[in-house]
Amino acid sequence: MTVAVILKGYPRLSETFIAQELLALEQAGLPFRIVPLRHPTDGHVHAINKAITAPVDYLPEYLYRHPLRVWRAWRKVRRWPTYRAARAAWLRDMRRDPTPNRGRRFGQALVLAAELPEDVDRLYVHFLHTPASVGFYASLLRRLPWSVSAHAKDIWTIPDWEKAEKLAACEWLVTCTASGAEHLAGIAQRGGLPDGRVELMYHGLDLSRFPAPPVRPSRDGSDPADPVRIMTVGRAVEKKGFEQLLDALAALPSTLHWRLLHIGAGPKLKKLQQQAATLGIADRVEWLGAQPQDEVIRRYLAADLFVLNCRIAENGDRDGLPNVLMEAQALGLPVVSTRVSAVPELVEHGHNGLLAPPDDPAALGGLVAELIRDPDRRAALGQAGTAVVRSHFSFEGGIERLARKLGLERDRSPTPAVAAAGP
């Protein structure tokens, strides 16, 4: 039997952790189909996405653009004995969240349920917010078990009632940070759900895709012709704190010579470029835009220092455990970040990186200046970071657990639930 993997969008440059997981599950022998809610918008595609051969079935991103497809799905599904309960669940959610987005998710679930091949016996959803809504409604319609992998924004920006009801409805949930697991397990416990509904499962890295760390030059920021190369990677959004990073760098002593490379797209990119010009550091900042992973790795190898100024956005959005921190450390690059969310689960201050308080550009700048001046300490922190990632954040163990949870070793005979689904 086959798993339908429901994603918000596919492929996405910012979601290498999902591509890594899918490729590993495919190589382990798990049959699955990929069902994205959105088409890709990035100009590049990672090589790891190109290696995945599973079929991709896009749902209608905007229902009004595919009225016949949605109407045919509704005509088919409304005759099923499961339709009334699924519609009631959706209407209950609509009363609490009366938004076009909520209506769109039910329409997508109708299409998914109507078009899902009969050999699919399980739904597996990445992200607890909108993709999980589609998965939940579709699971009711098709009488299929479903499970969730929760990450960051999806945990912290939806209301507790929605998290509680999805936890009660799904078979199990895994999440990639201890802080997220503790939060969700608390909601599950208050809802009277059995222990074990929420499980911590770090993404980790497939270290076979990363070369050995290089021996980096001993730049110390004293030579204007050979500045220290600082790198940061992330979408230009509020939770990444790039505005504060630029403020911190602009305040560094004029005797320190550095250059910043930013990789990533995002809605705030033009404002950040304008801010750099206003601060008088535009000539020290290179904006590379979104890039495939092989180019990101090449840039890691050429950098001296990695900085990620994680913060909590006004709407509660925050990072989980950013993969870019693990990637940088896997390649021996020393990191400076903040004590936000799960970052301290990876970075121990003073051992394998430095951590500033969130929303404190002065403190962040002080740590960056400290490492610009001290190439020996950068090397020591980078070596310790590589050791931590290789010993605690390799992804093989997590993939084996996930494959078992998705039924790779179970009997693959047709199930009564699938036989009962449909009109």
Q: Is 418 left (phi over 0), alpha (psi -120 to 50) or beta?
A: alpha
Q: Which of 355, 364, 354, 335 has its CA nearest to residue 247?
A: 364
SS (H, E, C) the chain: CEEEEEEEECCCCCCHHHHHHHHHHHHHCCCEEEEEEECCCCCCCCHHHHCCCCCECCCCCCHHHCHHHHHHHHHHHCCCCCHHHHHHHHHHHHHHCCCHHHHHHHHHHHHHHHHCCCCEEEEEEECCCHHHHHHHHHHHHHCCCEEEEECCHHHHCCCHHHHHHHHHHCCCEEECCHHHHHHHHHHHHHCCCCCCCEEECCCCECHHHCCCCCCCCCCCCCCCCCCEEEEEECCCCHHHCHHHHHHHHHCCCCCCCEEEEEECCCCCHHHHHHHHHHHCCHHHEEEEECCCHHHHHHHHHHCCEEECCCCCCCCCCCCCCCHHHHHHHHCCCCEEEECCCCHHHHCCCCCCCEEECCCCHHHHHHHHHHHHHCHHHHHHHHHHHHHHHHHHCECHHHHHHHHHHCCCCCCCCCCHHHHHCCC
pLDDT for 396 equals 80
Rounded Cα distance between 215 and 338, Å, is 26
| Residue that has been written with the tokens 């010009």 in this structure | 277
pLDDT for 352 equals 98
pLDDT for 412 equals 41
Rounded Cα distance between 259 and 148, Å, is 41
Q: Which of 24, 143, 141, 168 has its CA nearest to residue 84?
A: 141
Question: Both ends of the chain: CA-CA distance in Å?
Answer: 21
**Sign of the C-alpha dihedral, residues 179, 184, 187, 193?**
negative
Burial of 279 (0-12, 13-18, 19+ CB in 10 A): middle
pLDDT for 395 equals 85
Q: Which two tokens stand for residue 320?
A: 């989980």
Look up the pTM and report it. Answer: 0.88
Burial of 290 (0-12, 13-18, 19+ CB in 10 A): buried
Strand 173-175 relative to strand 198-200, pairing: parallel
Which residues of the chain does CATH 3.40.50.2000 include? 2-203+395-420, 208-392
Q: Which two tokens stand for residue 65?
A: 């653009």
Torsion of CA 365, 367, 373, 374, to 10 degrees: -160
Q: What angle do CA 341, 287, 364 make, to 5 degrees?
A: 40
Q: Span 2-203+395-420: which CATH code?
A: 3.40.50.2000
Give average pLDDT by consecutive 10-residue segment, the chain, 423 residues.
95 93 96 97 91 97 96 98 98 96 97 97 97 98 98 94 98 95 96 94 90 96 98 97 98 97 97 98 97 96 98 93 96 97 96 98 98 98 97 86 86 35 37
Amino acid occupying residue 173: L
pLDDT for 413 equals 38
Which one of 3.30.1520.10, 3.20.190.10, 3.40.220.10, 3.40.50.2000 gives the CATH number of domain 208-392? 3.40.50.2000
Q: What is the separation of C-alpha 260 from the centre of its chain, rounded to a whole number of angstroms?
A: 24
Q: What is the separation of C-alpha 249 from the centre of its chain, rounded to a whole number of angstroms?
A: 27
